[in-house]
Structure 1
Amino acid sequence: MEREHEEAMRVDFAEHTRLNAELFHAEYLDRWDADTDEQARQRDQIHERWSASPHAEQWNYLRKAHHGWGLHPDRTRQFMDWVEHYRDLGHDQVTDVQRRSLEQARELAGETFPVDYERNAPDVARFTPQTPVPVFGAARQRRGIERGR
């Protein structure tokens, strides 16, 4: 795959992913209209163009990689670690284009780094007897104002 074809595929895939997300939200919020129909047509055109191209295999690999990061991020992260391990040993298990596809898919899926659930759950109260709930507003204890200085 020539570099300019790869770059075009990556730009189109990012746009395809953006359109997919917009269409998902429009359908979920029940706000499908003429603009949404046009977005669906654009998304389908991008997919059809690459699926019928000589680079269909690379396009499908990128789609599957994105799907993997979205549904099974831990398993896909483990696969990436395996790929990097064997690459460091001098045994490439995937092509450079496939490796870049895995990296782009990870980025588009929002899996650039793992986040612990506990750190990502601000709605969970973490107050204990040693760390009581803070007091705000009028109930807060205030020191008196010193006058005469």
Structure 2
Amino acid sequence: METWHLNTIEVRETEAFADKLGGLLKPGDLVTLSGDLGAGKTTFTKALAKALGVTKNVNSPTFTIMKEYRGYVPFYHMDAYRLEDSFEDLGLDEYFEGEGVTIVEWPEMIEEQLPTERLALFISYEGETARQIRLEATGERYEAIVKELKQG
């Protein structure tokens, strides 16, 4: 497992990091995004979507569980917050192994349904606009992404 963390002081730094990550992602990639309410998960997701060529407004799919957007590749934005203790097979693997990039907010709610190999991001609130972003990469593909991000 490859890990790394970075600190951002302003929202635009967080958005710049999301943009950089978006340039490294390809169809079939899975990013999970954890953090407290207000930590900046949706802000990060909007910037990542923009980096993937999404032009529509991206907002949290809390009540619909998932939204799909068109960009350079399909972009699947899932919010698993309301799926806690859901043990039914939701058919999510067709997204995780699909033609697009998938981001899952609140992945801990569906941990048993997630692939082992993924890029996990943890966003912590450090101040009004400051955030700490911790990355944990599981699998060669995601470890290579983290190594590239570390290099600048």
Please give the range of the TM-score, normalised by the shorter of the 2 chains.
under 0.3
TM-score by length of 1: 0.26
Q: Which has the higher strand share?
A: 2
Larger Rg: 1
TM-score by length of 2: 0.26
Greater relative contact order (Cα < 8 A, sep 6+):
2
Q: Which has the higher helix share?
A: 1
